[in-house]
Structure 1
């Protein structure tokens, strides 16, 4: 059984809108998102952060990862496993990355296992959209981050990075979809879903 058509259509629509954003706008938005996230007290206090290395038209995380690392946080980045689950390895500067599956940059550090995300004090994940009413995120369809988010404790800040118009009222959801607690957009960081 495939995924609902409305979910596929929303994913295609947002991906096309992202691709149409001028590079200058994407860069400016990414800086605003990074700065807004770095201003959060729970970001500043997080000793271990699970983040991701952005690709394509996603809000850029390269500056965020570097800033967190330079400010003393331990930053784990995902390593895509053959079963599409996410293993984790520690980022130790720009020279410690190498292309992984699909060419996505991954840390060359020792793999910490799929459960390493349980120890993170902050989890930053990619999304194409997030539902404001329930915090459900729309990913790319592989389910990797839904599995990872299922391992995160209920009080750990989980944040999806979005461009401004990607916070929607509700995202089409399936039982395996996981919610995030916050969204970081160029206009700021807000809590989503039920309090």
Structure 2
């Protein structure tokens, strides 16, 4: 599972599977995801939360975002730079957004309003696949791994807490991590909240 070809084949299979999810199931999954995340104490106590815009069939965070806004949380969405680094922009209902070069909507804010990943307390991370040990199969760009590389040297869980978000069918038995991969602390699906720190 650690060869580039095997990873690409798994990415393709999971993309196709995710794209085939019917609309009614997507809506139900968004409801289930919020129920699972509400079990997470950090969603209640943390103030600075990183999230993402769901694209290409990703499990939607729209109900989670609305819940966080109702709780007075500061929501931040990623903004990618040319060096494969993410910084995060405060996101409110009034924030203008525009697709980046990958077609992913990004908040349009001044550069001096972007915050570093380390300044967040809780980050909801998109993924293509995962295993219960907290290994994440991303999209191959390395943006999250490079941006949160500082956590590799930290005693986990640390700040920010990394929570992978995906459908339950995106679970695989095992993913062999690369040296640069940053583990997830937890994974939330529409069905359960998985604590990867015990694995």
Regarding TM over 0.5, the answer is: yes
> 1:61 matched to which residue of 2?
61
Residue deviations 1:27-84 (CA, integer Å, cap 9, x gap) = 2112211232133211111100111111120000223223212311111110111222
Aligned residues: 192
- Structure 2: gaps spanning 5 or more residues: none
> 2:74 matched to which residue of 1?
74
Length-normalised TM-score, structure 2: 0.87
Of 165-174 and 73-82, more deviation after overlay is shown by: 165-174
Q: Is the 8 A contact 1:182 1:190 kept in 2?
A: yes
Q: Is the 8 A contact 1:115 1:151 kept in 2?
A: no
Change (3 A) 1:146 1:166: same
> 2:141 matched to which residue of 1?
142
- Root-mean-square deviation over aligned CA pairs: 2.1
| In structure 2, C-alpha distance between the alignment counterparts of 1:19 and 1:135, rounded to whole Å | 23
- Structure 1: gaps spanning 5 or more residues: none
- Deviation at 1:86? 1.0
| In structure 2, C-alpha distance between the alignment counterparts of 1:70 and 1:83, rounded to whole Å | 35
Of 43-52 and 62-71, more deviation after overlay is shown by: 62-71
> 1:4 matched to which residue of 2?
4
- Runs of 4+ in structure 1 displaced over 6 angstroms? none
